[in-house]
Amino acid sequence: MSTTVQTIPAAEAPLPKLPADYKPLLLVPALALLALPLIGDFPAWVTLTVAGLAMGMMIFLMASGLTLVFGLMDVLNFGHGAFVAVGAFTATFVLLPMQNWLQVDSVVMNLAALGLAILLAMVVTGCLGWIFERVIIMPVYGQHLKQILITMGGLIVAEQLIHVVWGPDQIPLPLPASFRGAIILGEAAVEKYRLIAVAVGLAVFIAMSLVLNRTKIGLLIRAGVENGEMVEALGYRIRRLFVGVFVAGSALAGLGGVMWGLYKEVLTAAMGSEIMVPVFIVIIIGGLGSVGGCFIGALLVALMANYTGFLVPKVALASNILLMVAILLWRPQGLYPVAKR
Amino acid sequence: MLTRLLSGDFPRSRFLALALLIVFLGLAVAPFALSGARPLNVAATICVFIVLVASYDLLLGYTGIVSFAHTMFYGIGAYGVGLSLYSLGPSWGAILLGLTIALVVSLALALVIGLFSLRVRAIFYAMITLAVASAFAILASQLSDFTGGEDGRTFRLPEMLTPGYTLFEGEIFGTSINGRLLTYYLVFVSAVALFLFLLRVVNSPFGRVLQAIRENDFRAEALGYRTVVYRTIANCLAALLATCAGALMALWLRYTGPQTTLSFTIMMDILLMVVIGGMGTLYGAVVGAALFILAQNYLQELTGQASHALAGVPLLANLFHPDRWLLWLGVLFVLSVYFFPTGIVGKLRKPNP
């Protein structure tokens, strides 16, 4: 690669880069700082902000796959919530038999059990995603109306199947012993599990950004989002790429489901469809198809929900609608619009 | 006469005509033919849902818009009448006032949502309505001082509609003409009138334009129709009719609460009814609603027997558990989107001449 570039003198000068768009990045700290005087109490603000960031990271995990799938193949999966729920429920296969590992106050054993549960959940949801793509989505490419209907149908069936496999009752899922409780920073109490959620979310975001920006597969995915036909004309099979992204997105939703289930400490079959509303708001705010926008959108939505939940609890969810309207008035295509749409 | 009444839109199939006749006559004589509270309740629910599903079909089947906010408008209607009767006491004026307020609120909301998001693509609209509807549902359960929260509100109807009231002494066909019966016929007649009105709308030139937009919105725009305007009007009309359906439901139940009017489950039920019955034809709403609600009430007993027979097999018994009836309808839904997108009615009906 490098040798061919050097033989052509004109190509030595790097291509002029697009100016980076930093404005949406500033929204997150701006929102946090704006909330500080309104809340007026610094420790409470720290607690709320960390809680918001943790929730945002979990929403990001669930939303990132959805937005990439949409960007790449113009498919919006309304059944994405099913993967979230299935992931969380699958984790019980590991977490409930290994209760004694979880109740020991040892970080290593806790993490081992949790890691195993997450791995299993991701494998199962990944496989499920593959089946879902084959059976449910493949026959309806390019037909939006049918896609919405069919993925909704898939969601109904999946939720009912969860009832069939795991029974109709909700399942309590206690946190591992060493992740319970809070760390006291100054006067602010920060729950340990929230810090873990932030760490996991950040790790996934960084890994995803590296894959998308530094590897060939990432290059193909980004090119596919911009102009799929062109990538196909160059000889790459975008279908295979798409199936890969769909499976990865489903597995991420499974991971998000496990994190979310542990956060709520109780599992219901409807948890997937409940979380879909903020997820949809996030991907609309971020710009359909954009991972960076999705990340910022998730943080904004979660922070907003936490702040308003503290200040005026009755309108917490309506506040996200207002946030969405405000952002769409500023940028009608979302924070980072994807070029072709 | 019949042509005018049905707006020239005949069933065009013997089986369909027969099915529709059975549903109509069944609903018309339900209070006399059936005894007990439950069958009458099923019949009234079918009446209300026929209107609700038909108005949703105006959006989904005729205009090609996927909205998840239909239960919101249904809920506005139910809450409008319910809260007005609750706070003003049982009178006809309260019903009228509640309905008017509900219609105005629905119209305003539908207009705002429509103008804001109908310009963009179908998927966008589906997501935004989903978000708005869930926000509304949470708001309704949060403002508990006003709406009664999760418990909802129970209220009394005007005296004429209460079970204690009798129109005259004596019985007709062994049934006394009490207020409960009058309420049923109020629901029934309103449902029939609203349904015939919808039939008129979809068979008018306006309805033709909606179908053109569904088939190819770009071409409809090129022919000189402002698609945004038509879509918004269709959206408002559907919202208003859903509000009326909600008001009827509140009158029948004498109760309004988030579970019976605003929950996402009802939205899914509506979707299932439209698709299984048949999109793009209002008769589909009749067949779909009747089948679905009968299944909801009586299929459980059937699968219960299957579950009983399979009690020894662990997973299969769960599969046929009475509470899993939605699973089978979900599978039927997915299959019908693939293999017969025009639903039962589309299969029965001969192609449009």
Continuous H helices in A266-335: 271-286, 291-311, 316-330
Give the residue-averaged pLDDT of A231-255. 89
Domains delineated in chain A:
52-330 (1.10.3470)
- CATH code for position B288: 1.10.3470
Cα–Cα distance, A207 to A53 (Å, whole number):
18
A vs B, Cβ pairs < 8 A, gives 103
- Output the CA–CA distances (angstroms, integers) from residue A303 to A26, A46, A295, B119, in the order listed: 14, 11, 12, 29
pLDDT of residue B120: 67
Cα–Cα distance, A113 to A104 (Å, whole number):
11
Q: Judge whether A148 is closer than 8 Å to chain B, CB to CB.
A: yes
Distance of CA B44 to the CA centre of its chain: 11
Contact B321 A164 (CB under 8 A): yes
Examine residue B157 and state whether it is found in any structural domain, yes or no: yes
Q: Over 60: is that where the pLDDT of A298 sits? A: yes
- The whole-chain average pLDDT of chain A stands at 84
Examine residue B42 and state whether it is found in any structural domain, yes or no: yes
- Taking residue A99's Cβ as centre, other Cβ atoms within 10 Å add up to 12
pLDDT of residue B353: 46
Token pair listed for A75:
């498919």
Is the predicted ipTM greater than 0.85, yes or no?
Answer: no
CA-based angle A196:A198:A199, to the nearest 5?
65
Closest-CA residue of B relative to A315 is B139
Q: Measure in Å the smallest separation between the Cα of A235 and chain B Cα atoms.
A: 30
Burial of A29 (0-12, 13-18, 19+ CB in 10 A): exposed
- Taking residue A170's Cβ as centre, other Cβ atoms within 10 Å add up to 13
pLDDT of residue B352: 54
Q: Which residues of A are less than 8 Å from B319 in CB distance?
A: 164
Token pair listed for B83:
């809260």
CA-based angle A19:A22:A23, to the nearest 5?
120
What proportions of chain A, in percent to the nearest 5, are helix, strand and coil? 75, 5, 20
pLDDT of residue A5: 47
Q: Which residues of B are less than 8 Å from A145 in CB distance?
A: 60, 64, 66, 122
Examine residue B91 and state whether it is found in any structural domain, yes or no: yes
pLDDT of residue B245: 95
pLDDT of residue A142: 75
pLDDT of residue B126: 85
Q: Which residues does residue A266 pair with via DSSP β-bridges, in sequence order?
A: A172
Contact B127 A139 (CB under 8 A): no
Q: Judge whether A75 is closer than 8 Å to chain B, CB to CB.
A: no
Enumerate residue ranges in chain B where pLDDT < 70. Answer: 119-121, 169-170, 174, 311-318, 350-353
Examine residue B113 and state whether it is found in any structural domain, yes or no: yes
Instruction: Answer with the residue of higher pLDDT: A245 or B123.
Output: A245
Tens digit of pLDDT for each residue in A81-122?
A: 899 999 999 988 888 887 777 777 777 888 888 889 899 999
Residues of B with CB under 8 A from a CB of A: 60, 64, 66, 116, 121-124, 126-128, 130-132, 134-135, 138-139, 142-143, 264, 268, 271-272, 275, 315, 318-319, 321, 323-324, 326-327, 329-331, 333-334, 337-338, 341
Give Rg (Cα) of chain A: 21
Tens digit of pLDDT for each residue in A183-214?
A: 777 777 788 888 888 999 999 999 998 998 88
pLDDT of residue B7: 76
Domain limits for position B138: 2-348
DSSP per-residue string spanning A136-185: IIGGGTT-HHHHHHHHHHHHHHHHHHHHHHH-SS-EE-PPPGGG-SEEEE
Q: Which residues of A are less than 8 Å from B142 in CB distance?
A: 313-315
pLDDT of residue B163: 77
Q: What are phi and psi of A227, to 5 degrees?
A: -155, 90
Q: Judge whether A314 is closer than 8 Å to chain B, CB to CB.
A: yes
- Output the CA–CA distances (angstroms, integers) from residue A246 to A12, A74, A169, A220, in the order listed: 37, 12, 30, 15
Strand A188-191 vs strand A266-267: parallel, antiparallel, or unpaired?
unpaired
Structural domain count, chain B: 1
Percent of residues, chain A, with pLDDT higher than 90: 21
Contacts of B327 (CB under 8 A, 6+ apart): A156, A157, A160, A161, A163, A164, B319
pLDDT of residue A15: 67
Q: Over 60: is that where the pLDDT of A269 sits? A: yes
Examine residue B353 and state whether it is found in any structural domain, yes or no: no
Contact A139 B338 (CB under 8 A): yes
pLDDT of residue A192: 85
Percent of residues, chain A, with pLDDT higher than 70: 93
- Cβ–Cβ under 8 Å, residues A257 and A125: yes
Examine residue B215 and state whether it is found in any structural domain, yes or no: yes
Contacts of B238 (CB under 8 A, 6+ apart): B55, B56, B58, B59, B67, B70, B73, B110
